[in-house]
Chain A
Amino acid sequence: MGLLDKEFSDGNIVIAKVDDLMNWARLSSIWQLGFGLACCAIEMMATSASHYDFDRFGVIPRNTPRQADAIIISGTVTLKMATRIKRLYEQMPDPKYIISMGSCANCGGPYWEHGYHVLKGIDRVIPVDVYVPGCPPRPEALLEGLLKLQEKIRNESLRKKIA
């Protein structure tokens, strides 16, 4: 059982500090699942490469879903692939995050109308945390997406959500 499975009902200063520490650890070490789908995968590789260097943010590709924290859906998701992506997502241990990279993964992109074999948006299959627009998004855009994800993680809490 992960530590995060337990929710605390009342927030206090200790939990708030622990929250900060935990969140810091999670957001500083987002290991992405190393797999690419289409055009965007090349930009994702370029982002990991020397020029943009994903590693600065602690992001390294892990090839097995078991050791990954985030999955970057980099490209067009076809119907044939969607079932596999769902399985990969399910194989990842919690807490896990999804970045949907590029128009195709966001909404079908240029294939939205006549793409008889294209899934129009990965969010029909798995929940998405951050959408990065572009076709393909520039590496800077992907980095921005990552920063947004970090921001999102920073605001997570062990406390029970009030709603």
Chain B
Amino acid sequence: MYQFLYNLIGNEILAGLLVAVVPLTIILVFALFGIWLERKVSAHMQDRLGPMRTGWHGWLQTVADLMKMLQKEDIIATDADKTLYNIAPVLVFSGSFAAYAVIPFSSKLLGSEVEIGIFYVLAISSLVVAGILMAGWSANNKYSLLGAMRAVAQIISYEIPTALIVLSMVMLTGTLSLDKISQMQTSSFWNWNIFGGAIFGLSKFLLIPFMFIGALIIFISTLAEVNRVPFDIPEAESELVAGYFTEYCGMKWGMFMLAEYGNMFAVSAIITILFFGGYQSPIGYFGNSISAQWLVPFEQGFWFIAKGLTLVFVQMWLRWTLPRLRVDQLMTVCWKYLIPYAFLNLIIIGIISLL
């Protein structure tokens, strides 16, 4: 996409900025939609209706929320560390925003075709940790601090199983590029990595159970990385009021919120790419069959977003069903169960792929 624009405009910076607009639009639109979806999903699960007064079934609710937030007074407590306090939301947001740069929404729509895409995502999302710690520390509020400490411990711990599963997938596919991983799983859902990838023979069938385990582990650990129930202890409403963003108000808080929903989709996208075929259609392309090649990228976009939203929906489903774990139990889940199983999975997948 960048190359295309560069050829068109001939200016590196302008092309770069234009490319950046795409993920920004996507993240904003998704956040608007995601927050509304969350409220509607929760409402319907709870025998309620959810927002109803702003447009059809309240679809403008998030717009109203955001516009209201823009109007709010911006309070910075006297004792807060002002620099850190102001940087933190930006950092958190840019962390989750930057991850979108390498996510291939379709074969034509991806910000940057970096070869080390998945590595980049893991690295850049660590910015979020720094932002959260800054937010918790600078607000000079004990609840914020507790929330930030919890968040950092949690996110860093859960990055290990995530990374291990990613590693096993990289081992299997032999590439770090998200686009290439997506391309490999083409033509039918039987070629998705969760079904052993586009290989044939015995090893495919041997791989399937371990792929399922791997997908489960990475789903759980990314759930924890984006602080969703049952791992939402950093912002545990009933314990820590609102966790690390207790003291934030107005749009600064809104940025945390956007980042959270952005992250939700980002991790779903990563899982989709690694296991569920990325932007590949499970049933072949309509555009190919009527020989309208221009239709294919749009179909791919549709499939990608549909798969991502399905995973997001599962996250929400869990959120409104399960209670929350305690901080030590959370660590137990990570260190005693997820990491050993992820290691085991890595070794077994390695052996099988050598067969």
Chain A residues within CB distance 8 Å of chain B:
1-5, 21-22, 24-26, 28-29, 49-50, 53, 55-58, 60, 62-64, 66-67, 69, 91, 93-95
**B53 pairs with A66, CB closer than 8 A:** no
**Cβ contact of B73, chosen from A22, A53, A93, cutoff 8 A:** A93
Given the interface pairs A63-B241, A64-B242, A93-B249, the reply to whether A56 lies near B50 with Cβ below 8 Å is yes
- Taking CB atoms, residues of chain A closer than 8 Å to B65 are 25, 29, 58
| Whole-angstrom distance between the Cβ of B232 and the nearest chain A Cβ | 13
**B64 pairs with A2, CB closer than 8 A:** no
Stretch in B40-48, B204-212, B292-300, B307-315 touching the partner: B40-48
Assembly CA distance A4 to B73 (angstroms) = 8
**CB neighbors of A among B23-47 (8 A):** 39, 43, 46-47
Assembly CA distance A49 to B253 (angstroms) = 26
**CB neighbors of A among B208-255 (8 A):** 237, 241-242, 246-250, 253
**Which residue of A5, A57, A58, A94 has the most chain B CB atoms within 10 A of its CB atom?**
A58
Q: Does B54 contact A (CB under 8 A)?
A: yes
Assembly CA distance A64 to B235 (angstroms) = 11
**A58 pairs with B53, CB closer than 8 A:** yes
**B72 pairs with A56, CB closer than 8 A:** no
Known A-B contacts: A21-B67, A25-B65. Give 5 more (CB < 8 A): A4-B71, A56-B58, A58-B54, A66-B75, A66-B248
**A58 pairs with B58, CB closer than 8 A:** yes
**Which residue of B46, B48, B67, B72 has the most chain A CB atoms within 10 A of its CB atom?**
B72
Query: How many chain B residues have a CB neighbour from A under 8 Å?
Result: 35
Going nearest first, the 8 A-B pairs with the smallest beta carbon separation are A25-B67, A93-B73, A28-B64, A66-B249, A94-B73, A50-B47, A2-B73, A56-B52
Q: Does B22 contact A (CB under 8 A)?
A: no
**B50 pairs with A25, CB closer than 8 A:** no
Given the interface pairs A66-B253, A67-B242, the reply to whether A25 lies near B64 with Cβ below 8 Å is yes
- Taking CB atoms, residues of chain A closer than 8 Å to B50 are 53, 55-56
Assembly CA distance A67 to B243 (angstroms) = 13
Dominant SS at the B interface?
Answer: loop
Assembly CA distance A114 to B27 (angstroms) = 58
**B74 pairs with A93, CB closer than 8 A:** yes
Assembly CA distance A77 to B49 (angstroms) = 33
**B242 pairs with A62, CB closer than 8 A:** yes
| Whole-angstrom distance between the Cβ of B42 and the nearest chain A Cβ | 9
| B46 nearest CB neighbor, chain A only | A50
Q: Does B171 contact A (CB under 8 A)?
A: no
**A95 pairs with B72, CB closer than 8 A:** yes
**A28 pairs with B54, CB closer than 8 A:** yes
Assembly CA distance A67 to B50 (angstroms) = 20
Assembly CA distance A142 to B46 (angstroms) = 21
- Taking CB atoms, residues of chain B closer than 8 Å to A93 are 72-75, 249-250
- Binary interface encoding of chain B residues 69-84 relative to chain A, with 1 for a CB under 8 A from any of its CBs, else 0: 0111111000000000
Assembly CA distance A62 to B242 (angstroms) = 8
Q: Does B324 contact A (CB under 8 A)?
A: no
**Cβ contact of B61, chosen from A5, A28, A62, A64, cutoff 8 A:** A28
Q: Does B68 contact A (CB under 8 A)?
A: yes
- Taking CB atoms, residues of chain A closer than 8 Å to B58 are 56, 58
| A30 nearest CB neighbor, chain B only | B68
**B237 pairs with A63, CB closer than 8 A:** yes
Assembly CA distance A91 to B247 (angstroms) = 9
- Taking CB atoms, residues of chain A closer than 8 Å to B253 are 66-67
Assembly CA distance A58 to B70 (angstroms) = 17
| Whole-angstrom distance between the Cβ of A149 and the nearest chain B Cβ | 13
Assembly CA distance A28 to B47 (angstroms) = 21
| A48 nearest CB neighbor, chain B only | B48
**A58 pairs with B64, CB closer than 8 A:** yes
| Whole-angstrom distance between the Cβ of A101 and the nearest chain B Cβ | 21
**B48 pairs with A24, CB closer than 8 A:** no
| Whole-angstrom distance between the Cβ of A71 and the nearest chain B Cβ | 14
| Whole-angstrom distance between the Cβ of A142 and the nearest chain B Cβ | 16
| Whole-angstrom distance between the Cβ of B251 and the nearest chain A Cβ | 10
Q: Does B282 contact A (CB under 8 A)?
A: no
| B250 nearest CB neighbor, chain A only | A93
Assembly CA distance A62 to B235 (angstroms) = 12
| B66 nearest CB neighbor, chain A only | A25
* 30 interchain pairs, CB-CB under 8 A: A2-B73, A4-B71, A5-B73, A22-B67, A25-B64, A25-B65, A25-B67, A28-B61, A29-B61, A50-B46, A53-B48, A55-B48, A56-B48, A56-B49, A56-B53, A56-B58, A57-B53, A58-B61, A62-B242, A63-B237, A64-B241, A64-B246, A66-B75, A66-B246, A66-B247, A66-B249, A69-B72, A93-B73, A94-B72, A95-B72
Given the interface pairs A64-B242, A66-B246, A93-B249, the reply to whether A55 lies near B68 with Cβ below 8 Å is no
| Whole-angstrom distance between the Cβ of A49 and the nearest chain B Cβ | 8
